[in-house]
């Protein structure tokens, strides 16, 4: 879809809503899916492109927070539009142990309304909005962060997860 084409107006999923279903190939030969996580709380974060400075910092921050999140029963899944080869290389390069999923066709991003029109240097294009969703045990969205600024974000997510 071209940036100038309009999309049907559909509300983005928000706090209290059922998390949209998903199933995606993920790093390490895994499958990341809502059904596979039923009954367990988790973080689903969307990032624009593997192995870029902001996305690397965000992934490494979540990796660092992983032990504390695991102690409270929270899993983490990162989602980008990158192909699996690029995602696998990114995960290996930085020792990322949590699943990084490929949403190359943007279906999951569109369901979560993170595939958005962006603008840079006067050019508009479609791209991934850096966003995070905290999903509770019942499969409902407990918290949403949109247009995320990376510094301190993983710590904010961990703090919110502790009160689930």
The sheet carrying 42-46 orders its strands as 30-33, 23-26, 100-102, 75-80, 42-46, 131-135, 141-145
Q: Is 21 helix (H, G, I), strand (E, B) or coil?
A: coil
Q: Which of 152, 151, 146, 149 is nearest to 133 (CA)?
A: 146
* Helix/strand/coil percent split, the chain, to 5: 30, 30, 40
Q: Is 108 helix (H, G, I), strand (E, B) or coil?
A: helix
Q: Among all chains, which residue has been given the structure tokens 């499958």? A: 31
User: Is 60 an annotated catalytic residue?
Assistant: no
Catalytic residue among 19, 55, 135, 157: 55
Distance CA(124)–CA(53), nearest Å, equals 22
Distance CA(2)–CA(120), nearest Å, equals 15
From start to end of 81-149, where are the E strands? Answer: 100-102, 115-120, 123-128, 131-135, 141-145
Residues recognised as catalytic: 55
């Amino acid at each position: 879809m071209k940036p100038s084409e309009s999309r049907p107006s559909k509300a983005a999923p928000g706090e209290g809503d059922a998390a949209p279903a998903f199933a995606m190939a993920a790093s390490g030969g895994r499958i990341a899916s809502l059904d596979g996580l039923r009954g367990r709380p988790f973080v689903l974060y969307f990032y624009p492109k593997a192995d870029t400075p902001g996305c690397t910092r965000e992934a490494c921050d979540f990796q660092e927070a992983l032990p504390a999140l695991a102690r409270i029963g929270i899993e983490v899944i990162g989602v980008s539009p990158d192909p699996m080869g690029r995602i696998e290389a990114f995960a290996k390069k930085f020792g990322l142990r949590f699943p990084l999923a490929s949403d190359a066709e943007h279906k999951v991003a569109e369901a979560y309304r993170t595939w958005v029109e962006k603008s840079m240097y006067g050019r508009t294009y479609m791209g991934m909005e850096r966003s995070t969703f905290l999903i509770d045990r019942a499969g409902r969205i407990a918290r949403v962060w949109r247009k995320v600024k990376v510094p301190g974000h993983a710590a904010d997510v961990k703090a919110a997860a502790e009160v689930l």
